Amino acid sequence: MASLNAKTRDMSKKAKALRREGLITASMCGKDLPESLSLVIDANEATQFMKNHHVGSEATLVVDGKEYDTMIKSADKDHLNTRFLDMTFQHLIATEKVKGVAEIVLLNEDRTNGFLTRDISTVEYKAYPKDIVDKIEIDVAKLPIGTELTVADLDIAKNKDIDVTTPLDSSVLHIAEHQHMDAAAEAVLEADEEAAAEKEAEAAK
């Protein structure tokens, strides 16, 4: 599990002042914690970390040298979506189920056999920490034309240790045959293109 460093926040400093120092605000909550922890994280480190992680990912949060197993619950950016402003974490307890979000990753999209339509990008669920799912990978190059995948078709939905909360009949993706124009449509298109070319030629005289 990847780690991210954090420090206890000096509450006398406002968020704007902390951002000027290259820090972002953060917090960690958990039923086994006496109270939520207010934290700060180096902004550059947070940005690098989130390049390979997302909301729903597990992370070892190192707070003032002490390690906590956590899940990323939120990661807020500025209005330009260019930098992180705040993150929240949930401390994981082995005997307690946690709400999670698994990211759907499509592999080999450039080798899809037909026209690919993607309907959802995440699946929500509840599970114990040992069963957390970070990503659901689907190799679309292996799927034939006519494929219609729903959440129920995914391995996460078939795992008896995971309670999927996204409706099982939700469409994940479908692959249709590429549409080809018939001869009549092609003739109309060619006529329009020729007419446009003639107009351009006349205008150029």
Domains of the chain: 3-93 (2.40.240.10), 99-176 (2.170.120.20)
Give the pLDDT confidence of 134-143 residue by residue, as tens digits.
999 999 999 9
64 closest CA partner among 3, 7, 4: 7
Q: Are 136 and 155 in contact (CB under 8 A)?
A: yes
Residue 181: the pLDDT is 47
- Of 38-52, 101-115, 176-190, the range with the lowest mean pLDDT is 176-190
Q: Is the overall model pTM greater than 0.85, yes or no?
A: no
The reported pLDDT for the residue numbered 139 is: 97
Average pLDDT over the chain, rounded to an integer: 91
Residue 182 has pLDDT above 70, yes or no: no
What does residue 57 show for φ and ψ, rounded to 5 degrees?
-75, 150
Q: Within 13 A of 114's CA, how many CA atoms are on the CB side?
A: 16
Instruction: Give the pLDDT confidence score for residue 80 in this predicted structure.
Output: 83
3-class SS of residue 55: coil
Average confidence (pLDDT) over 178-189: 61
Question: Which alpha helices (DSSP H) does 13-168 contain, by range?
Answer: 15-20, 43-50, 155-158
